[in-house]
Amino acid sequence: MPAAAITAIVVSYDSADVLPACLDALAGEGIPAIVVDNASGDDSRAIAAAKGARVIANACNEGYGRANNIGVAAADTPYVLIVNPDLEIGRGAAVALLQAAERYPDAGMLAPRIVEPSGRVFLQPRSLLSPPHLNRSGAMAIPEGDACLPFLSGACLLIRREVFVALGGFDPAIFLFYEDDDLCRRMRDAGHALVHVHGAEARHGRGRSTAPSPQRRFKARWHLAWSEHYIARKYGLAGPGPIRMLENAGKAAGYGLLLKREKMFAHAGSAAGARAWRRGETALAHEGLGEMP
C-alpha cells in the first residue's frame, strides 16, 4: 500500500554517511524515494542511485525548501513523505501514517513520533510563529496518543501532495531555516490540521545530515539570522533588533581572541546574516540563486 500512495523526498547535501540507512529504511517500508542532491561533493548521488532511488542532481545547492519543492514536483503519488537524510523511518510507520491520514481527512500534514539517539522524543514546543501562550518555557508534554499540534518537525512529514502544491510548497525565498514553521503556519491558516501520529516512529540523528565544520556553522547561522528577520517581516511580527546583531559581533570577536573557532564562526554568522537583512540582501542572492521557476 505505501508504494502506491507515497513517494519519499530526501534532500541530500554531502550526506553519504547517513543516506544508506535512510534509504534502506524507506525500502523496507516499500516506499520509493526521490533523492534531490544539492551539488554534494561526496558520493551522495552514487549511493542514492545504487540504493535504487531516483536521483535529481541539482547543479548547485538550492537549499532545503527549494530542493524539496523540486522533488515534490517530480512525484505523482497522493502523498509525499519529506525525510531528512539522517532519519530512519521505523517498521510499520508508513502504514500507520497512511491509516491516520484516512482517520483525519482534515489533516494536511502528519508526522511520526521522532526519537533522538538519546531516546528523547522530539517535539517542537515553540516557534517565532506561535502565539505567546504557546511559547512558555519548559519541555512540551509528550502526547500519549494522536494529537493536533501547532507545529510539526520538518525532519519527517507525510503531506497530502495536492494540498502542498495548492499552498505553493515551501517558501522559495528561504534558503534554510523556518521553512517548516512557515509551511505549518500556512497549513493551519488554510484550515488544515497538523497531526502527530503516536503509533508511527522514526529515528532521527539530528544534525548528522552533513559533516560539521566552522564554515558550515557560519553559513547555517547566517541563514538562521536572515530567515528569522524574513519570517518576522512576512507575518508582521517584531523582529530581532540591532542590539542582538551587535552582541553577536562582540561575541565573535571575543571568541576569536580566545581561539574558539566554532563559537567565533557561529556568532559571526549570526551577525553577518542580520546585517545582510538590514542591507536588503536576500538569501537567494547570497547563495547566487535566482527565483524559483
60-107 pLDDT per residue, tens: 999 999 999 999 999 999 999 999 999 999 999 999 999 999 999 999
| Bridge partners of residue 80, in order along the sequence | 7, 159
Does 209 map to a domain? no
| pTM of this structure | 0.92
What's the pLDDT at 293? Answer: 43
Provide the percentage of residues in the chain whose pLDDT is more than 90. 78
Q: How confident is the model at residue 123 (pLDDT cuts 50, 70, 90)?
A: confident
Q: Give me the domain span that covers residue 237.
A: 214-286
Residues 196 and 258 reside in one and the same domain: no
Does 293 map to a domain? no
Residues 58 and 122 reside in one and the same domain: yes
pLDDT tens digits for range 19-61: 999 999 999 999 999 999 999 999 999 999 999 999 999 999 9
Residues 184 and 269 reside in one and the same domain: no
Residues 73 and 160 reside in one and the same domain: yes
Residues 218 and 200 reside in one and the same domain: no
Of 83, 80, 82, 64, nearest to 22 (Cα)? 83
| Bridge partners of residue 131, in order along the sequence | none
Mean pLDDT (whole number) for 197-222: 84
Give the residue from 185, 204, 223 where a domain finishes: 204
Task: Give the total number of structural domains in the chain.
Answer: 2
Residues 43 and 153 reside in one and the same domain: yes
Residues 137 and 231 reside in one and the same domain: no
Mean pLDDT (whole number) for 214-237: 94
Residues 10 and 124 reside in one and the same domain: yes
Measured distance CA(156)–CA(29) in Å, rounded? 14
Does 260 map to a domain? yes
Residues 98 and 236 reside in one and the same domain: no
